Chain A
Amino acid sequence: MARLTPDNTTLAHEIIARYPKPKSALIPLLHLAQEQDGYVTDEAMRHIAELVGVTPAEVRGTGTFYEMFQFEPVGRYLINICGTMSCALMGADDLMHAAEETLGVHAGGTTDDGMFTLHRAECQAACTEAPCLQVNYRYRFRATPDDVRTLIDDLRAGRLDGEIPPHGTLARTRQHIPADRGVGAVDPDDVAGPPAWVTVDADTSQGAS
């Protein structure tokens, strides 16, 4: 639980090879680290820095720009309750109260059993469905305080395991692109002249324009 595991390190090298510059793999590797430990650990950031040849400060600086990376331990379920305008008008505060009461933590906190972390979030681009919330980025629209209580019960009881994997999970089936099947990394510095568009079929490409 710290640096990337040997398996993930192998995967990291595979990911790095997909890019013209190792540094470009930074974000995918941060996802990998978050998937491994549920959040991005300091040691993992150091490890990523070594793997892509930048400083740990650059890794942290880049990672902390993104809301979806967590740098402190979070629960198995991260509940983000939208608090921006539409949701606020439609009763986001009631959702937050219900969640706080049910979980026994304030916004920003994590339950003692490590199951839930509660966050107040900015607009989740579902304003027409306000008030809304997300659990590990899975939406619940037009939610009511009762919905929140039921949701928490269901999550606790494992009734939603099929829909909502633990925080950090990227995908349940990992896509694997063998090196020889990839498009191949072209170093942007090595490209001479204007971009060459790939034409699949001369006729259709004309028709399409």
Chain B
Amino acid sequence: MSPNDDAVNEPTDATDDAGSSGDKAVMVDDAVADADTVDSEPVVEPDPDAVTITINGREVSARRGELVISAAERNDAYIPRFCYHPRMSSVGMCRQCLVEIDTGRGPMLQPSCMVPVSDGMVVDTESDTSKRAQEGILELLLANHPLDCPVCDKGGECPLQDQAFSHGPGESRYVEEKRHYEKPIPISDLVFLDRERCILCDRCTRFADEVAGDALIHFMDRGNATQVNTYPDEPFSSYFSGNTVQICPVGALTASPYRFKARPWDLEQVESTCTTCSVGCRTSVHSSRDRVLRFQGLDVSDDHGEAVNHGWLCDRGRFNFESIHADTRLGEPLVRTDAGLTATTWSSAMSITADLLGSALAAGSDSVGIIGGARGTNEDALAWARLADACGVGRRDAQVGDGIPAEILDLPRASVDDACAAATIVLIGPDLKQELPVLHLRLRAAVESGRTKVIEFTPTGSGLTAGAWRSQQYVPGALVETVRQSLSDSDVAAQLAAGPVVVVAGRPNLAEQGPAVLDAVEAVVAAAPQATVLPVLRRGNVIGALEAGLAPVSGDTDAILRAAADGQIKVLVLLGADPLRDHPDAQLARRALAGAERVISIDGHMSSSSRAADVVLPAAVMGEKSGTTTNIEGRTTPVEQKVTVHGTARPDWMIALELAQRLGHDLGVSDLNDLTAAVPHAARHRSDRVPAASAMPPSNYELRLIVSRTLYDAAVLTAASPSLAELAAGPGLSVHPADLEALGVSSGDDIRVVGPRGSVVMPACADDRLRRGTVWAAFNQVDPRGVHGDIREVIDASAVANDVRLEVVS
């Protein structure tokens, strides 16, 4: 049987499940066979790197350094492959890509994923010899493959299935017994491995080592016994494990949230964007029968050839689709009556809301505060910003006291690709691996390539510390001085002068004020005037919301909460924000919600704050609404509706428009298209900048507190995704072993954390990566048993930094 010729010429990458069948997906990896090489080569005219090669009798042009497999694919000669992946190094593992290549010594079979093009090269991908080689390799790969396609999740989108059909011999001569292994074994909480199906292509193991830097899976044993596996008792608990499932060219790796949920031919998909954090990874949303069943990463570039996520996603972003259909979703409007929150109709809820707002506004526009907007689309934010403008409400903020001043967006902006091409990255911010995971992957790749040097300022160390050129652990409260001091170092000055500088800036510590970061960034920009800035604010569409007009005009979230606590706020609008859980200062948030006369919560899920609200309006969540989102780079990309909304939920923008109408304002827009057209790009932010307080008053609490996020916490979308909810570590305090020993406490024991505000009990954990005199706790961790407390109870948001002391729990 000869291979199916149509399929041979199919120009899509059969081994890239997401890219190949996405409606609007464009694969752009062709020219990026080796991204490092290509990036570092200067582009000049005429291109000195252009070479001419012959593929299947046609002369085509290619670039020096490009691999034959990708040059051929670009020229409509698809070569079958399993191990080759354009975003990872070539290893020549599977031999499926054998074709005849003639470099002047006669045609020879060579793996086209390992051979770079050279001038005058002649390639024949369809000669009898090439075809026989490809058929032979497929027969070998199938010798041990169980062919359990009917019960395999990959069946229908499986590169092995597809290429066995297009490039295989049709029949096998093997009659011997196949290899047998225990059917899928869990290699982590999320990923299952079926070693019988594995074709040992080294994609998953290469990804884990090369891209994620978590080499927790590896080939074990040798010869016929070779298998992928973990170390005993050390699971593949990488934040990026889901990517291996996506790139596995067979059904050997499956992820628990999707196992046995659908057949690929029943899935509908649409290109969208992840809005879990502000990296804005491009995704493809897959659904069947009106339920979202999975997200896959997309590798798409913009008009300038710049890409965000190279096709990768973090596990939190990949698997939190489960929250769309969670029990905690709000499906109908609720208003507080004597019987508590009671379901009502939209018309009555809207008239109550409009009345509340109307009478509050009558008392002065400062008696209304709006917090949130980062969880929605640009259109949602714009509609609310316009409503706030129309009502004269200046007290608004899309950040929930967990970011840095919006003026950071006024500095010249860098893209992720800029950062990856920079000579120096100055990182003043959180551990990106925990907060903006895929940005961490991108920057890590730049560091690993040797191209980019990282100078980081961190209170705890980060995922980039090991590869950093300089890692400066600063004492919270002393960030600006530490940065200034470091800039006066002549080596540092020379490095900053050595080439482009990108400052990656975010909030390193939630128990320390945000404005100091802005001062520190300005100090760096003063020392390296050409520097551009990548603002790493954490929340999904926070940049889009700030730029659409939800940046503070008079008073940020801290100020709004303080005003509410003082009884100055009549109506507090929470736009997908949950200050009771998400604001660093738990006591302030509690006092504010109690002090505000009325609280209106517009949210997709029932949250702590919506439970305390007077009116709750159910909002559509991502996946249920269309619009655009803007990421840290200022890149605006679409998010698409894929399923019908839960209950009668509505997108935020629709709610804003109706409220405007009821309040008698014309926002100048009447539908989503108007809003999309009006989304501003790169607005400027001029609020009254509160200078960062600098001196920390002395206290008799001897340990400086650091609080930052970890990937898995009690954030609503994570907590509402069953597969992820269990992964949060729970409360705990990391202490330097010597400090712990001085107290006579051992790792794992409970300890009381005492601050000026109060105290909480949580288990202590020795961590020698901390400086002595500092302690660290993960943000937003909840103990379901209620035994251990929340670190936010001891944070005072108005303090420069927070100090605590530890007491032994008797």
Measured CB to CB, the residues of A under 8 A from B are: 42, 45, 54-62, 64-67, 189
Contact with A61, one of B218, B232, B234 (Cβ below 8 angstroms): B218
| B220 and A56 form a contact (CB under 8 A) | no
| B220 and A61 form a contact (CB under 8 A) | yes
Chosen A-B contacts, 21 in total, with CB atoms closer than 8 Å, are: A54-B215, A55-B215, A55-B216, A55-B231, A55-B234, A56-B234, A57-B217, A58-B209, A58-B215, A58-B218, A59-B231, A60-B231, A61-B218, A61-B219, A61-B220, A62-B218, A64-B220, A65-B219, A65-B221, A65-B222, A66-B222
Distance A54 CA – B231 CA, assembled complex (angstroms) = 12
Measured CB to CB, the residues of B under 8 A from A are: 209, 214-222, 229-232, 234, 450
| B222 and A57 form a contact (CB under 8 A) | no
Shortest Cβ distance from residue B201 to the other chain A in the assembled complex, whole angstroms: 15
Shortest Cβ distance from residue B711 to the other chain A in the assembled complex, whole angstroms: 19
Q: List residues of chain A with CB within 8 A of the CB of B219.
A: 61, 65
Distance A54 CA – B213 CA, assembled complex (angstroms) = 10
| A57 and B234 form a contact (CB under 8 A) | yes
Q: List residues of chain B with CB within 8 A of the CB of A62.
A: 218
Q: List residues of chain A with CB within 8 A of the CB of B209.
A: 58
Q: List residues of chain B with CB within 8 A of the CB of A64.
A: 220-222
- Known A45-B231, A57-B218, A57-B230; further 7 A-B contacts with Cβ < 8 A: A56-B234, A57-B229, A58-B209, A58-B215, A61-B218, A65-B219, A65-B221
Q: List residues of chain A with CB within 8 A of the CB of B222.
A: 64-67
Shortest Cβ distance from residue B159 to the other chain A in the assembled complex, whole angstroms: 24
Contact with B220, one of A42, A54, A60, A67 (Cβ below 8 angstroms): A60
Distance A189 CA – B448 CA, assembled complex (angstroms) = 13
Shortest Cβ distance from residue A25 to the other chain B in the assembled complex, whole angstroms: 17
| A57 and B221 form a contact (CB under 8 A) | no
Interface SS, A side: helix
Shortest Cβ distance from residue B54 to the other chain A in the assembled complex, whole angstroms: 33
| Closest Cβ neighbor of B221 among chain A residues | A64
Distance A92 CA – B579 CA, assembled complex (angstroms) = 77
| Closest Cβ neighbor of A49 among chain B residues | B231
Contact with B218, one of A42, A60, A67 (Cβ below 8 angstroms): A60
Q: List residues of chain B with CB within 8 A of the CB of A56.
A: 231, 234
Shortest Cβ distance from residue B50 to the other chain A in the assembled complex, whole angstroms: 28
Distance A59 CA – B219 CA, assembled complex (angstroms) = 10
Shortest Cβ distance from residue A72 to the other chain B in the assembled complex, whole angstroms: 12
Q: List residues of chain A with CB within 8 A of the CB of B220.
A: 60-61, 64
Distance A172 CA – B727 CA, assembled complex (angstroms) = 50
Shortest Cβ distance from residue B232 to the other chain A in the assembled complex, whole angstroms: 6
Distance A179 CA – B232 CA, assembled complex (angstroms) = 36
Q: Nearest 5 CB-CB pairs, A to B?
A: A61-B218, A56-B231, A57-B231, A57-B218, A55-B215
Shortest Cβ distance from residue B193 to the other chain A in the assembled complex, whole angstroms: 13
Distance A59 CA – B218 CA, assembled complex (angstroms) = 9
| Closest Cβ neighbor of A60 among chain B residues | B231
Q: List residues of chain B with CB within 8 A of the CB of A58.
A: 209, 215, 218
| B221 and A42 form a contact (CB under 8 A) | no
Shortest Cβ distance from residue A64 to the other chain B in the assembled complex, whole angstroms: 5
Distance A62 CA – B231 CA, assembled complex (angstroms) = 12
| Closest Cβ neighbor of B234 among chain A residues | A56
Distance A31 CA – B216 CA, assembled complex (angstroms) = 22
Q: List residues of chain A with CB within 8 A of the CB of B214.
A: 55
Q: List residues of chain A with CB within 8 A of the CB of B231.
A: 45, 55-57, 59-60
Distance A42 CA – B229 CA, assembled complex (angstroms) = 15
Shortest Cβ distance from residue B354 to the other chain A in the assembled complex, whole angstroms: 59
Distance A57 CA – B221 CA, assembled complex (angstroms) = 12
Best-surrounded residue of A61, A67, A189 (most CB of chain B within 10 A): A61
Q: List residues of chain A with CB within 8 A of the CB of B216.
A: 55, 57
Distance A45 CA – B232 CA, assembled complex (angstroms) = 11
Distance A155 CA – B219 CA, assembled complex (angstroms) = 37
Shortest Cβ distance from residue B744 to the other chain A in the assembled complex, whole angstroms: 27
Q: List residues of chain B with CB within 8 A of the CB of A54.
A: 215
| Closest Cβ neighbor of B233 among chain A residues | A42
Distance A57 CA – B229 CA, assembled complex (angstroms) = 8
| Closest Cβ neighbor of B236 among chain A residues | A57
Q: List residues of chain B with CB within 8 A of the CB of A45.
A: 231
Distance A126 CA – B63 CA, assembled complex (angstroms) = 50
Q: List residues of chain A with CB within 8 A of the CB of B217.
A: 57
Distance A73 CA – B110 CA, assembled complex (angstroms) = 43
Distance A189 CA – B449 CA, assembled complex (angstroms) = 12
Shortest Cβ distance from residue A23 to the other chain B in the assembled complex, whole angstroms: 11
Contact with A42, one of B230, B232, B450 (Cβ below 8 angstroms): B232
Q: List residues of chain B with CB within 8 A of the CB of A61.
A: 218-220
Q: List residues of chain A with CB within 8 A of the CB of B230.
A: 57
Distance A58 CA – B222 CA, assembled complex (angstroms) = 14
Shortest Cβ distance from residue A32 to the other chain B in the assembled complex, whole angstroms: 19
Shortest Cβ distance from residue B723 to the other chain A in the assembled complex, whole angstroms: 23
| Closest Cβ neighbor of A53 among chain B residues | B466
Distance A56 CA – B230 CA, assembled complex (angstroms) = 9
| Closest Cβ neighbor of A67 among chain B residues | B222
Distance A56 CA – B217 CA, assembled complex (angstroms) = 10
| Closest Cβ neighbor of B209 among chain A residues | A58
Distance A45 CA – B233 CA, assembled complex (angstroms) = 13
Distance A67 CA – B418 CA, assembled complex (angstroms) = 48
Q: List residues of chain A with CB within 8 A of the CB of B218.
A: 55, 57-58, 60-62
| Closest Cβ neighbor of B213 among chain A residues | A55
Q: List residues of chain B with CB within 8 A of the CB of A57.
A: 215-218, 229-231, 234
Distance A127 CA – B715 CA, assembled complex (angstroms) = 67
Distance A45 CA – B230 CA, assembled complex (angstroms) = 13
Distance A14 CA – B214 CA, assembled complex (angstroms) = 27
Distance A56 CA – B229 CA, assembled complex (angstroms) = 11
Distance A169 CA – B43 CA, assembled complex (angstroms) = 58
| Closest Cβ neighbor of B219 among chain A residues | A61
Shortest Cβ distance from residue B8 to the other chain A in the assembled complex, whole angstroms: 36
| Closest Cβ neighbor of B217 among chain A residues | A57
| Closest Cβ neighbor of B232 among chain A residues | A42
Q: List residues of chain B with CB within 8 A of the CB of A189.
A: 450
Q: List residues of chain B with CB within 8 A of the CB of A55.
A: 214-216, 218, 231, 234
Shortest Cβ distance from residue B729 to the other chain A in the assembled complex, whole angstroms: 20
| Closest Cβ neighbor of A65 among chain B residues | B222
Distance A125 CA – B640 CA, assembled complex (angstroms) = 64
Distance A54 CA – B215 CA, assembled complex (angstroms) = 8
| Closest Cβ neighbor of A54 among chain B residues | B215
Distance A189 CA – B222 CA, assembled complex (angstroms) = 30
Distance A50 CA – B611 CA, assembled complex (angstroms) = 48
Distance A62 CA – B222 CA, assembled complex (angstroms) = 10
Shortest Cβ distance from residue A21 to the other chain B in the assembled complex, whole angstroms: 14
Distance A62 CA – B221 CA, assembled complex (angstroms) = 8
